[in-house]
Structure 1
Amino acid sequence: MLNLLLKTKKIRFLPFLLCFSIWYGQAIGQKKTDIFSWGDGQKVLFLGNSITYAGQYVAMTESLLLSSRPKGKPQFINSGLPSETVSGLSEPNHADGKFPRPCLFDRLDNVIDKIKPDVVFVCYGMNDGIYLPFDSARFEAYKDGIIRLHKCLVDQGVKRMIWMTPPVHDDPQLRLDGYNKVLDRYAEWLIGYAKMQSWEIIDLHFRMRRYLEARIEKDAQFKLAADGVHPGELGHWLMAKEIVQQLMPDFPIESTWDDNLRNQPKLRQLYTLVLKRQTMMKDAWLTYTGHKRPGLSKGIPMEDASKAYAAIQDEIKALGF
């Protein structure tokens, strides 16, 4: 369209073209450059599977954002649930036949109603392909789940949603030529659909894949996840780094988590407290909001959890954050 208008030599349309170009870049999902606005009492919810439940990337993100000393102190809430999907699918013999994979929609209403989040981070996909070769019916179930989740969050008044592509999968034998090819398809769709709908999205998958590819070239034995699924500290750092760079693009951030800890003397203490608090609170929230996944630790009552949260918050304040 731009070339057609230029050929008409109607110079008076140039201001319009400039505005159109700016709008179009934003509409297809151009990276945001606005600094995230934090507020006291604001609830920031993370939904996801076992990778989110593990919690390191959530705690790293919160720690770095607190280290920027925002005026407001939001409450980060980790509500990741191991084995969970948005597709509602499960393998016939999941967990040796002990239980089917839980589906987010079995608990979502309770989670949103009881937590009332202002911001929701969403990270699904790893379990939704059921660790099998690509199948169009499973793919449609994942897409339907994501679209349904967006509608549910909008209908329940969530002010901001941030979608994240699933982390990389590293097959023990096939490496990136195994199940990760399914996740490539899922991540490509989510990026494209999010841009088309003007959703806010952070790409974790392809950033982690490129990192893993580069490391494998130098060391064929290198892994981000010992079991191919659940990343260690480095993998969680790669996730947190992408989130922080999206939320606060001008915030000075080091290339490794250890470098951040070395260059900010109090960050290690802050991270220890934040991780301790999130670990305690996630089980409390999961127990309070309810779920169908057996085998998880029972959280302490919310009244006790709130007191423990406040006590750790006092320790964080004593560090100067």
Structure 2
Amino acid sequence: MLNLLLTTKKMRVLSLLFCLSLWYVQAVGQKQGKQFPWNGGQKVLFLGNSITYAGQYVAMTESLFLSSHPKKKPQFINSGLPSETVSGLSEPNHAEGKFPRPCLFDRLDNVLDKINPEVVFVCYGMNDGIYLPFDSTRFEAYKNGIIRLQKRLADQGVKRIIWMTPPVQDDLKLRLNGYNKVLDRYAEWLIGYAKEHYGEVIDLHLPMRQYLEAGIKKDPQFRLAADGVHPGELGHWLMAREIVKHLMPDFSIASTWEDNLRDKPKLRQLYALVLKRQTIMKDAWLTFTGHKRPGLAKGIPLEDALKSYDVMQEEINNLGF
């Protein structure tokens, strides 16, 4: 009887310790999302498709960070590649049959080995369902790609992985009831996957979906993306806003990007410099690390691009934030 009581007590203690350990991991994860501890020299990599390559949301995020943390100067590196997936899938007639969709894993080793980032943002999903109705096989390919990517980033020693759900898709005919239904499921799974593995995730999809729904109610012709896929400035701002809210929850931001620029005149100058620098650097990095996607502009040699980077950094410093 005594042994049974001791065993029961021991099990209760172990159970309590297990619950406390779970609480601690969750608390650390939540605390991490409320801090922005990056410093000069750190490399912050953005992986994604054409929406990331377009780069406005990356430049907006970097601009707001630099305006609020002028002494910390991490490198924000945009390595988005148009048409890319993590699933490895492609439509038979993609790009009118000129080339299949590139897969991240064809270039990932080079990107990680040559850049060696400390922080990585990941935004895939839009292309991974290849714009067809939901299919479990395609869904598994997307999930397997995300899981494979997490392992590769962990093996690389990346200190912070930040998953982002895919932006909203606005079907030209069906609006939110078309391909976006597929992205709803991809986003829901990614959020659950990140939480299950105590990962860090920023939901871009639902806030953009809600914003689009509200806009359509006011004006049936309202769009976030003229072609249904690639968001304009407003859509990129909605993405940047969620990132900034996650990383700097106490930072005051206006409801629109234009309002931010109007309220903070020096921010307009800063954003122009950051966007110009990002435009130069993304092509230079893509050329330096290599990829299989035809039709992209060749970047200038990385050595020359980094010199331009430093020159523009001096201009940013002179803004006096």
Query: How far apart in 2 are the matches of 1:70 and 1:108?
Result: 31
Conserved? CA contact 1:287–1:299, under 8 Å: yes
**Are positions 1:290 and 2:286 aligned together?**
no
Q: Does 2:91 match 1:91?
A: yes
Letter in 1 for 2:243: I
**Superposition TM-score, scaled by structure 2 size:** 0.92
**How many angstroms apart in 2 are the aligned matches of 1:246 and 1:130?**
29
Question: Which amino acid is 1:42 matched to?
Answer: Q
* Residue 208 of structure 2 is aligned to residue 211 of structure 1: no
Q: Residue 59 of structure 1 contacts residue 275 of structure 1 at CA under 8 Å; is this kept in 2?
A: yes
Distance between the aligned counterparts of 1:272 and 1:35, measured in 2?
26
Instruction: State the distance in 2 between where 1:74 and 1:254 align.
Output: 24
User: In the alignment, which residue of structure 1 is the partner of 2:132?
Assistant: 132
Change (3 A) 1:159 1:22: closer
Tell me, yes or no, if the aligned pair for 1:29 and 1:195 is still in contact at 8 Å.
no
The letter of the residue matching 1:288 is F
Equivalent residue number for residue 261 of structure 2: 261
Partner residue, 1:154: 154
CA distance in structure 2 between the aligned counterparts of 1:305 and 1:25, rounded to whole angstroms? 40
1:106-255 equivalences under 5 Å are 106-255=106-255
Aligned to 1:9: none
Q: Provide the C-alpha distance between the structure 1 equivalents of 2:221 and 2:298, rounded to a whole number of angstroms.
A: 38
- How far, CA to CA, are the matches of 1:234 and 1:184 in structure 2? 20
Give the gaps of 5 or more residues in structure 2: 1-11
Q: Shift of the alpha carbon at 1:186?
A: 0.4
Change (3 A) 1:31 1:176: farther
Question: In structure 2, what residue type is equivalent to 1:126?
Answer: M
Question: Cα 1:24–1:191, aligned 2, differ >3 Å: closer, same or farther?
Answer: farther
State the partner residue of 1:57: 57
Contact map agreement 2:33 2:200 (CA 8 A) in 1: no
**Residues paired across the two proteins, number:** 307
- How far apart in 2 are the matches of 1:133 and 1:258? 36
CA deviations 1:285-316 (Å, max 9, x no partner) are 00000000000000000111111111111111
Query: Residue 69 of structure 1: CA displacement?
Result: 2.7
Structure 2 CA distance for aligned equivalents of residues 28 and 189 of structure 1: 22
Q: 1:69-121: CA deviations, max 9, x gaps?
A: 34320000000000000000000010000000000000000000000101000
1:171 alignment partner AA: D
What's the offset of the Cα at 1:26? 2.5
Identity score, percent: 79
Aligned counterparts of 2:35 and 2:160: Cα–Cα separation in 1? 14
CA RMSD of aligned residues (A): 2.0
Unpaired runs of 5+ residues, structure 1, are: 1-11
| In 2, Cα distance between equivalents of 1:306 and 1:32 | 30
Q: 2:203 & 2:287 partners in 1: Cα distance?
A: 30
Q: TM-score, normalised by structure 1?
A: 0.92
